[in-house]
Structure 1
Amino acid sequence: MSLLRMSRARLAALATAASSGAMAAPAQAVEMELHSTTAAQAYEVASPWGGALLDRRRLLQTLSLGLYHLQGERAADGADYSLAMMLRLDADFGVNAHLVGGDAGAETDYARSSGSRFIPGYQVAPLDLMYGYIEGRNLAGGWLGFRLGRQYITDALGWWSFDGALVRLTTPYFVQAEVYGGLEQRGGLPLSTSRYEQQGVWRGSHAQFGTGQGRPSAADYPSYQFTAPAPAFGAALETSGVSFLHGRLTYRRVYNTATSFTQQFPDASGNYPTIDGARISQERIGYEAGVTLPSRGGINGGFSYDLYNQLVGMAQGNVEAYLGEHVTVGANVDYFVPTFDADSIWNWFTHSPVTTAVGRVAVEVTSTVHVAASGGVRLWATDGDPDAFRMGQCAELGLSVADCDGAFGNPDVLAGYTQDEANRGTSLTPDALANVSARYRLRSAEVELRGMMQAGERGRRVGADVSGEKRLDGGRYALGTRLSLHDWEDPLRPERGATSFGYVLGAGYRPIQVADMRLEWEHDMNRLVGHRFRVLGVLTLRVTP
């Protein structure tokens, strides 16, 4: 994919690939695959305090290994074993770069700057094992399979990672069953990341904490919770062997075991109350199903139910139809309610759903011209109207709004304004959504247009990108550009509204078949940030012996 066709947000997050290598052994009894990627990027972001610019010098390194057919020569109906693993280093050498003198290193060292800039759990170069497991397939005549180690599960409950074992039973009756158990991957533990645990809790390693001079105390950061192994187990039933039909019913339960602070301020004795012992972190059930007919289209949907919060956290449905060979139409509805770890304070607050409904059409006008469009609405739900609620309370008390704050009245008079579900009316705020795109593609060139709009009473975003690329000498050279114009407005913060213009100029060169080089210059400007520049260099290496 050309970098020039990416949105500004994706381009800002994209790493400069310094090197990428892959090796695959020739076909033999045991096959090996080795792949590594090195990516680097440099940029500046505004400080949260609005003063200094923060330097970011990111380095991402991944290394993956795959070994297949470990048992040797494989029989068509025999057992097959494999091993797979991937390590990731996600470093930012810009950490602490803006701090000098006595503040140098203060973001990661509590002893510097009296701890005023210390961020618990912040690491310059975190290393994690993305996955690492041994797998067996087609055991016991095809009935059994297993996976042992760190692994992913993806279904109606979302992306999830754990260390443990999974056993799969596949029957000849178009259904298979899974059971699994182990420890959820959690931030703060060795070779782990917090990406896959439930939201709402800031937890991590307390290895730097203690009672000695220059070391932080856990009581100094009661929001930063302890981390510990989190036992988990689950099960699933899934269709198997039916190409046009798929369904999966899944259940998962995870426990918290670490000590947790239960409030942010000390009690009368000066201590911070805590809770410990095994307790629920999450318990959810989900289902997804779909039917696909190659020449007609398809329909699918799913949901997840949070048993702890007793609510539907996600529901979605999608339908797509092929009108001949060149036209595809479809529609989808997504319903989402944020849910949190059972230890999170956010469970105490109301959290309302967001519902999005979109219709779309894609047309292949000719073999070189493709157009697509979508439009719909997004509904933001809240518990009642705060202004109407406040004015109603004041009216019941016989006071003006100016004199009402802090006043108390007869509870019987204000019965309609107590914290009762019956008093929680729901208000909906809609946003209109629209997206359009068009692409003109030739053998050695292409031009693409993308536009978007999201607008409602609480704000507006609208913009468009035009990009193009021309390849020369059979793809050995490439020239490209991208122009973007976006405008946004926030009625709550009118001073933050702006119109932004940006452009990218790029050139690419492939000196040999296994190497690609690319250089891009980006310039963005608006009245809020002035001018921002970026130089992006990409080097990609591919080796396949």
Structure 2
Amino acid sequence: MPFPERTRQRLRGGPWRVPAQAGLLSVLLGSGTASASAFQVEARTEAQAYQLRSYRQASPSDPVLLPRRRIVQYLGLTGYELVTGQDLGFESSLRLFADLGLPRGEAAKIDGLRSEDADLLYAFVRYGVGGIEGKLGRQLYVDVADMLAFDGLSVRYMSPRGIGAEVYGGLWVKGAGFLSSSVYQPDGTRESDVRRLDQGVAGADPTLTALEPMYGAKLLVENLRGVSASLGYRRAVVDGKTDIERATVEARYGQGLGPSAIAGVDFDLVQLKLAQARAQVRWDGETLAVSGEALRLSPVFSADSIWYWFAYAPRDEARVRVDYFPRGPLRYYVQAVGSLYHTVINDSLQLARVDLSQGQPSNTVGGSAGASLRRERLRSAVDVSYRRGFGGSQLWADLTAGYGFGEGHFTLDGRLSAARIQDGFNPLLEGTFLGAQVWASQALSRAARLSLVLEHNVNPYTRWDSKVFFLFDLKASL
């Protein structure tokens, strides 16, 4: 029995497809008489060796480097059409890791640090029928406001006319959850105060590990005469009190070549202020594209964070970019950027009367330019960028190149970077920074690939900084 259209689309290149640089090759196994169910297994093993600079018991003239020796294993399992003729499936991704250079006793002294653990990144069952799609389990959600992970249910409906709605709700994934990752929890708070509570530290907060219910909804318009839009609402509650409450509006317009536009607003309903915003207009021609963009960017803090109430630093930015892609292997671009930094401090504090900027300007100006080349097995790109103003000045130059040997079973990529930095806040971040990276990848079979990544940096901050990554990737479709 043939797969439903949705399943065929996913097998042709759905959300599980890994970028080419990861070096994963898919293989189709099984006979034509197999059942309608399809499964995909992905595995990656990483051995990482590098070092971090210590901020304690060190000085600018005598830096102390802390070695890291980590083994990381990613395992993903995806199933399609578990019931013949029905769009029923599941998706999952599990990450296991162990830091061989970090004893458990040392990790226990630092909040949120673990010497070994398992993170369930996502795992959900998905079912689609007609214009309805539902997901149950741990899932990721991304929009103009934030990226979050939650354990719960989401339901989306889209009518044939391109008008629909979605609702979602569950428990926000936090660092205290079983097999959970804190990557997507609100910023500005510790994962847990268990250690401080055990030690009787004054001010320790037992609610950091409390369950955080969250829910949201959106009205949707999809590709209605080239227009897609949404109006959304989200709220999260901790210990009976609102932690985050946001309203979002997003809109897109585009019909191939010619004019297009993107706009989005994230509004904070707790403090009644603009949190994030983006507006872009673009024109695409056969060999030329021109775009202009304005953004308001600010961190997403929890209401439990002191930074949310007393000091936050949004940034306004404007960009203008021109891309030129004539016939042939070369592509070019040039971009101008201007930013305005705000350090908003509660004026009721003594801190607000102190000049923290120390004469620093509140704006930056700069730009970048680059070119890329693709010709058969060779690919290369060069980028140069410069910014000056708030925080000092930065000049960056990057050169990348890659080549595929034989039938592409062996690929070799390299990167050279040079930067001249004068940081107005950190005297250690001044001088010339140089870096080089080599990525060699060998396909062992149609489903397996072996990669080795070597990186070395020379700079006044870490002096000599070396990294080694060993990767083994396996991907199979059944």
Short-chain TM bin: 0.7 to 0.9
Residues 207-286 of structure 1: pairs in structure 2 closer than 5 A: 216-219=198-201, 222=204, 226-240=208-222, 242=224, 244-257=226-239, 278-286=240-248
CA spacing shift, 1:172–1:517, aligned 2, 3 Å = closer
In 2, the alpha carbon distance for the partners of 1:86 and 1:492 equals 40
1:341 to 277, 302, 309: 302
Matched residue, 2:311: 350
- Please give the per-residue CA displacement for 1:60-89, whole angstroms capped at 9, x wherever unaligned: 222222222233124xxxxx3222222222
Does residue 191 of structure 2 align to residue 203 of structure 1? yes
Once the two structures are TM-superposed, the CA of residue 312 in structure 1 deviates from its matched residue by: 0.8
Alignment partner, residue 389 of structure 1: none
- The letter of the residue matching 1:378 is S
* Higher normalized strand content (fraction of residues): 2
Q: CA RMSD in A?
A: 3.2
Residues 515-526 of structure 1 correspond to what in structure 2 (within 5 A)? 515-526=448-459
Aligned to 2:281: 319
Work out whether 1:89 is the aligned partner of 2:96. yes
* CA offset digits 1:35-80 (Å, max 9, x no partner): 2222221101111212532111223222222222233124xxxxx3
* Residue 37 (structure 2) pairs with residue 64 (structure 1): no
Structure 1 CA distance, aligned partners of 2:143 and 2:461? 42
How far off is 1:536 after superposition? 4.2
- Deviation (angstroms), 1:329: 1.1
Query: How far 1:220 moved relative to its partner?
Result: 6.5
Given the alignment, which residue of 105, 124, 143 partners 1:133? 124
Distance 1:484 1:294, change over 3 A: same
- 2:7 aligns with none
Are 1:290 and 1:299, in contact at CA under 8 Å, matched by a contact in 2?
Answer: yes
Corresponding residue of 2:168: 180
Contact residue 337 and residue 353 of structure 1 kept, 8 A = yes
What amino acid does structure 2 have at the position aligned with 1:136? Y
TM-superposed deviation, 1:133: 1.8
Q: 2:363 is matched with which residue? A: 430
Gaps of 5+ in 1: 1-15, 75-79, 97-104, 110-117, 211-215, 258-277, 387-404, 406-416, 420-426
Q: How many residues are aligned here?
A: 442
Q: Per-residue displacement from partner, 1:189-238 (whole Å, max 9, x unpaired)?
A: 112122222222113273x787xxxxx42526726863021112211101
Distance in 1 separating the partners of 2:409 and 2:375: 16
Q: Conserved in 2, the CA contact under 8 Å of 1:25 and 1:33?
A: no
Q: Give the partner amino acid of 1:308.
A: V
Match status 1:108 vs 2:107:
yes
Q: Which residue of 2 aligns with 1:192?
A: 180
> Shift of the alpha carbon at 1:512?
4.4
1:265-309 per-residue CA deviation (whole Å, 9 max, x = no partner) reads xxxxxxxxxxxxx11111111010010110214101010111112
> Alpha carbons of 1:514 and 1:231: their partners in 2 closer, same or farther (altered >3 Å)?
closer
Q: Deviations over 1:471-519 (max 9, x none)?
A: 3333344455433221100234445411122334565544544444444
Q: Which has the higher mean CA deviation after the structures are superposed, 471-480 or 310-319?
A: 471-480
Q: 1:433 to 1:218 in 2, by over 3 A?
A: farther
Structure 2 distance, partners of 1:18, 1:469, is: 13
Partners of 1:361 and 1:147 in 2: how far apart?
40
CA distance in 1, matches of 2:293, 2:102: 42
Bigger Cα displacement from structure 2, 431-440 vs 287-296? 431-440
Cα deviation digits, residues 378-419 of structure 1 (max 9, x gap) = 1112359x9xxxxxxxxxxxxxxxxxx9xxxxxxxxxxx999
- Separation in 2 of the partners of 1:307 and 1:146? 28
Cα separation, partners in 2 of 1:174 and 1:30, compared to 1, 3 Å: same
**Equivalence map 1:396-545=2 (5 Å):** 429-494=362-427, 496-505=429-438, 507-510=440-443, 512-544=445-477
Percent identity for Structure 1 against Structure 2: 26
Structure 1 position 45 matched with structure 2 position 52:
yes
Under a length normalisation based on structure 2, what TM-score does the superposition of the two structures give? 0.83
TM-score, length of structure 1 as denominator length: 0.73
Alpha carbons of structure 1 residues 70 and 454: separation in structure 2 relative to 1, 3 Å: same
Deviation of 1:22 (Å): 7.0
Given the alignment of the two structures, is residue 168 of structure 1 paired with residue 156 of structure 2, yes or no?
yes
Deviations 1:97-156 (A, max 9, x none): xxxxxxxx43234xxxxxxxx113421223122222222212xxx354422222222222
Aligned to 2:12: none
User: Where does the alignment leave 5 or more consecutive residues of structure 2 unmatched?
Assistant: 1-20, 355-359
Contact 1:203–1:225 (Cα < 8 Å) also in 2: no
